[in-house]
Amino acid sequence: MLSVKNIHQYYGGSHILRDVSFEAHPGHITVLLGRNGVGKTTLLKSLMGLVPIRSGSIAFDGQPIQKKTPYERARAGMGFVPQGREIFARLTVEENLRMGLAYRSGSTPIPPELYELFPVLKQMLHRRGGDLSGGQQQQLAIARALAPGPKLLILDEPTEGIQPSIIKDIGRALRMLATEGWKGQKMAIVLCEQYYDFAEELADHYVVMERGEVIARGQGKDMQAQGVRQLVAI
């Protein structure tokens, strides 16, 4: 679904991403790990076209996208949940969800499956996004990204500042999206995460970054044996 090959990215004279390569497959969760400041968020923004890459290639669903705009990538089927959620605080939950459908016809309904995945959103449909708790806002941000039916979901630190009960709900939702699929198709998920136990529990594959480059990769079931926790410990 996603193939990243040998990408490099710079901010000014700083070499931020160094020859980064990895893949994400339908039905699997690929977890991106690393200490703060190693380039994880920059990598995710590069995947979405929010920052340009200097060299290398990014292919989505078999097509090169490194020159595509963010909205073209979204229309192709890439969903993004940014760090900090970035919901619209003054809009209602329903209006936030409709923003996820902005490039569709105005008559396109909000998928009812979103309310099955996150029941609290239906209960708070007419409440302003800014009045929700941090965990509820995160569920809203994920639902907004899911509304148009993406093939790939990219999440940046979804557990940041969230209570444990909602972390478990988000974990169950992500596993269901990968294994059972969304709107009839299995989804590829790329998860950037600082909470190691959450990442290890969900990972089908892992990628560890340090100083802008990949230093380790493998299958999720091997993370403990391969000492991944020590690689990312602060």
DSSP labels for 203-216? -SEEEEEETTEEEE
Residue 103: the pLDDT is 78
145 occurs within a structural domain: no
Domain that holds residue 180: 2-87+151-232
Residue 143: the pLDDT is 95
Within the chain, which residues score under 50 in pLDDT? none
116 occurs within a structural domain: no
Encode 123-184 in three state secondary structure: HCCCCEHHHCCHHHHHHHHHHHHHCCCCCEEEEECCCCCCCHHHHHHHHHHHHHHHHCCECC
98 occurs within a structural domain: no
Q: CA-to-CA distance for 141 and 145, rounded, in angstroms?
A: 6
Residue that has been written with the tokens 């459908």 in this structure = 101
215 occurs within a structural domain: yes
For residue 41, give the CATH number of its domain: 3.40.50.300
The tally of domains found in the chain comes to 1
125 occurs within a structural domain: no
Predicted TM-score (pTM) of this structure: 0.92
* Residue 20, CA distances (Å) to 138, 155, 191 in order: 28, 18, 16
Q: Which residues contact 11 (CB under 8 A, 6 or more apart)?
A: 42
Residue 234: the pLDDT is 62
